[in-house]
Structure 1
Amino acid sequence: MTIIKDTITINSALLNRGIVCDLLMPDEMDMNQPVHLLLLNDGQEIEALQLKQILQTLYDNNAIAPVVIVAIHSGEERLQEYGVANRPDFKKRGAKADIYSQFITAELLPAITELLPAQTFASTAFAGFSLGGLSALDIAWNNPELFDKIGVFSGSLWWRSKEIGKGYTDADRIAHAMIRETSSKPELKFWLQTGTHDETADRNQNGIIDSIDDTIDLIKELEVKGYSRTDDIRYLEMVGGKHDAPTWAKAMPKFLCWAFGK
């Protein structure tokens, strides 16, 4: 079994531009049998992530079930399209996150269905890196009828509605507030990763970098909702891990085995 790569461009009326997507899938996949689907933000990073090689190794070791990966390239307005829908941060970034979410649900997923008309997906996951991880969390959380699993690599969970020093408290973190303020408990499972060298910032001076604090606090919000740390949430903290593609490449096999392992 070898990995085949195809590149498509989806002309989005919502975003008013063409979105390049790389598709990765095994060449011997039986399209009459259920396989999995993974959407990946910042899909332009798949070469740096060595994703094709990682997949090849996992398939050679019979470690994962067949999965179609749709790696969505970000555009020039990444800082506006990624984020949390209808909740821009204190610098008004993420102002188009609602439109990007609509692109995913109303244009991208139907395009994939049209491209693979015989395919029934056993599960659908959405993952991303940094701000792309925040975006994946937002979109899957608010569309649980379309997604089953969420992967957040070094997520920008610091995303906040107030600037530090100008009235900010931890209650102003946008992703945490989104989860806290949702009345329902979506049927989702969560995989989150941080690295001990993700950053150096430590706004509360507790000796733990913000990226780890913010991720742990998000897990606590999920547990308050009723999610189980054992059954529903997987957290990977990588000693020496940085905010970069080589770190995420090391974490990727663990995520893929968690999401699609046999």
Structure 2
Amino acid sequence: MWWSNAAARAFGVLLMAAALCARVHASGLHHERLPAAALSADGIAFTVHLPDGYDPARAVGYPVLYVNDGQDRDAVRLDATARALVASGRIVPIIVVSIAMPPDRMAAYGLSDRARGASVPGDSRAGPVGTQAHAYAEWIAQVLVPHIDRTYRTQDGPSGRTLLGWSLGGLQAFNMGWRYPDRFGRIGAFSPSLWLPADRSSPQAAGRTRIAHRWVDADAPPAGVRWWLSVGTHEETDDRDGDGINDALDDVMELALGGDAEGVAAMPLRGLAQHRLSIAVDPAVPSSADADVVVWRLQDGRHTQEDWARMLPALLSWAFATGRQDPPR
């Protein structure tokens, strides 16, 4: 189910109003930096966006949205969209923490093994991906999250925290949900780089050795984590298995539904559905989707900031809907 043109126009009006509010409430942005010796001599910068009317003595803390690639926040209309949805009453007020990408994005954004204290690099045409992934994951979990909880009036615990990323940042968000369920109860991934393989010597090898899919095939997902996976229907033209479906869409559908989700049984890896997680595909009303996993396909969507901005309202409505009660963890 796609947003109608009328709905898109109405939401555009809300965005313009929210943009005006942003100028008035510029004091709601706090630019900070924390040490991250393993990743950068200068630490990692981030911006905290406090909601209008933020109250540090509020009886109930604010839920927090953490965002990878925070330097893109204007391009994906992060502030304006959140403000518009709060103003319309569709979501509750939230704190947003936009994390600027580390100096070596390709090294930091990737997969890790928390138990072994090690990164799990994959291969790409540009070289290894995720060689510093464990250090970045640990920085988020052990440095950034505790700092935010100490400094601001947050909802304590994973049910009050959502992490969002796109592209490689979406893969990193998946990693945090899989390895750090004690930190994050919701994960949002737009156009996630689930293609990352251990072996790319051939298209077939790359498909067989996609690391995230191998994890899901081998082990049960962490209890209590809810997943939002958004992907455009026109992300790319690559089709490694020749099934007529582009790889980005295949990767998301197969992670959720299993290796034969699109009728191709050559690589029948288990997906999240085979672990008895409930799956909702393209829910008509994202805010009411109570499945463990939501797959939301953006019609004609491509691998662009503009289309990630189009994905954002549905994700926020799902994660922070007014009056929503999540099932107990």
Structure 2 length-normalised TM? 0.75
Aligned to 1:238: 298
In structure 1, what is the Cα distance between the partners aligned to 2:228 and 2:142? Answer: 25
Aligned to 1:88: 121
Aligned to 2:49: 24
Aligned to 2:29: 5
User: Aligned letter for 1:251?
Assistant: M
Task: Label 1:43 to 1:169 Cα distance change in 2 as closer, same or farther (>3 A).
Answer: closer
In structure 2, what is the Cα distance between the partners aligned to 1:101 and 1:131? Answer: 13
As a proportion of its length, which structure holds more strand? Answer: 1
After TM superposition, give the deviation of residue 167 of structure 1 in Å.
6.3
Query: Which of residues 31, 36, 41 is equivalent to 2:68?
Result: 41
- Structure number with higher relative contact order (C-alpha < 8 Å, ≥ 6 residues apart): 1
Aligned to 1:186: 223
Map residues 1-262 of structure 1 onto 2, 5 A cutoff: 2=21, 4-17=28-41, 18-31=43-56, 32=58, 33-85=60-112, 86-90=119-123, 91-116=127-152, 118-121=153-156, 123-165=160-202, 168=205, 170-183=207-220, 185-220=222-257, 221-230=271-280, 231-262=291-322
In structure 2, what is the Cα distance between the partners aligned to 1:63 and 1:109? Answer: 26
Task: Label 1:76 to 1:185 Cα distance change in 2 as closer, same or farther (>3 A).
Answer: closer
After TM superposition, give the deviation of residue 179 of structure 1 in Å.
2.2
Q: What SS does the aligned partner of 1:39 have? A: strand
Which digits, 9 at most, give the CA deviation of each residue in 1:52-89, with x for residues without a partner?
A: 11112111101111211111010221000001012111
Does the 8 Å CA contact 1:141/1:186 hold for their aligned counterparts?
Answer: no
Identity %: 30
Bigger mean CA offset, 126-135 vs 6-15: 6-15
Quote the RMSD (CA, aligned, Å).
Answer: 1.8
For structure 2, the residue ranges without an aligned partner over 5 or more in a row are: 1-17, 23-27, 113-118, 258-270, 281-290, 323-329
In structure 2, what is the Cα distance between the partners aligned to 1:157 and 1:198? Answer: 13
In structure 2, what is the Cα distance between the partners aligned to 1:120 and 1:12? Answer: 25
After TM superposition, give the deviation of residue 171 of structure 1 in Å.
2.9
In structure 1, what is the Cα distance between the partners aligned to 2:72 and 2:311? Answer: 14
Bigger mean CA offset, 9-18 vs 142-151: 9-18
Q: What SS does the aligned partner of 1:144 have? A: coil
Task: Label 1:109 to 1:238 Cα distance change in 2 as closer, same or farther (>3 A).
Answer: same
User: Aligned letter for 2:106?
Assistant: L
In structure 2, what is the Cα distance between the partners aligned to 1:99 and 1:128? Answer: 17
Task: Label 1:224 to 1:10 Cα distance change in 2 as closer, same or farther (>3 A).
Answer: same
User: Aligned letter for 2:314?
Assistant: K
Q: Which has the larger radius of gyration?
A: 2
Structure 1 length-normalised TM? 0.94
